[in-house]
Amino acid sequence: MIKKFTWKSLVPCCFQAEIPLEEPTKKIVKKQSSFQRISVSDISLSGPSLSADDISSSLIGSNLHVFTLAELKVITQSFSTSNFLGEGGFGPVHKGFIDDKLKPGLKAQPVAVKLMNLEGTQGHREWLTEVIFLGQLRHPHLVKLIGYCCEDEHRLLVYEYMVRGSLENQLFRRYSASLPWLTRMKIALGAAKGLAFLHEAEKPVIYRDFKASNILLDSDYTAKLSDFGLAKDGPEGDETHVSTRVMGTHGYAAPEYVMTGK
């Protein structure tokens, strides 16, 4: 006689207590915004001459703060090497601290400031895409964009500061204990919820750069998706897919996407 096992019977009781496998699926209730979400294609002023006023008038109601380059130099101590957090395709990231006197309505808090490298692999288009998407999308598993700077050729982004950095750093640090199994499951679940929110939005979003270095962690190991420079509006209505140039990091893109461009 072969005994039939269920997944629940095979999982230790301590794991069940942390993440119940048979918990009813909860429908995500999307908060209605006071404005219709726009896409990157809705903005015709996408060239380097785009001003902060142009963006802010397009994103009325997004609650983004517009910073000057001088203000961001102050809060990062002129982008001091002591405040350096890391660097990606867009450019270097520095830690900063905003006091409650800098901007009306903006509370005192640590932030991460991303500075566009003028000779980097990403540029104005990716910066604008990030502002458009994260300026309008809000979710517990998406990193919060606080504001931006668009001054002359300078393009900067200001985010909430994520204390534990990226999942990549947590997984591959040399001198630290490995992440516990339950913590890894919590991170995976949080990242999946972030993707589900994007895919189920009124205007779906295709993230296109899902990898460990783009999953950031707060003090409680809550996962938040970051870096929307390669994101794209998904199919709407009766459409089932969108055709694009293959974008993303080599080794992380889905094989069928690489083969078909869909």
Active-site residue list = 209
DSSP symbol at 219: T
Cβ pair 144, 68 in contact under 8 A:
no
Question: Which residues, in sequence order, are CB contacts of 201 under 8 Å at separation 6+?
Answer: 30, 37, 137
Q: Which of 51, 22, 24, 259 lies closest to 153, judged by CA? A: 51
Task: Give the burial string for 197-236 (b: 16+ CB within 10 Å, else e).
Answer: bbeebeeebbbbbbeebbbbbbeebebbbbbbbbbbbbee
Dihedral-angle region of residue 63 (phi above 0 means left; psi in -120 to 50 means alpha; beta otherwise): left
Q: Which of 65, 37, 68, 90 lies closest to 146, judged by CA? A: 65
Cα–Cα dist 175/104, whole Å: 42
Cα–Cα dist 98/85, whole Å: 17
At 230, the amino acid letter reads L
Q: What angle do CA 125, 142, 178 make, to 5 degrees?
A: 115
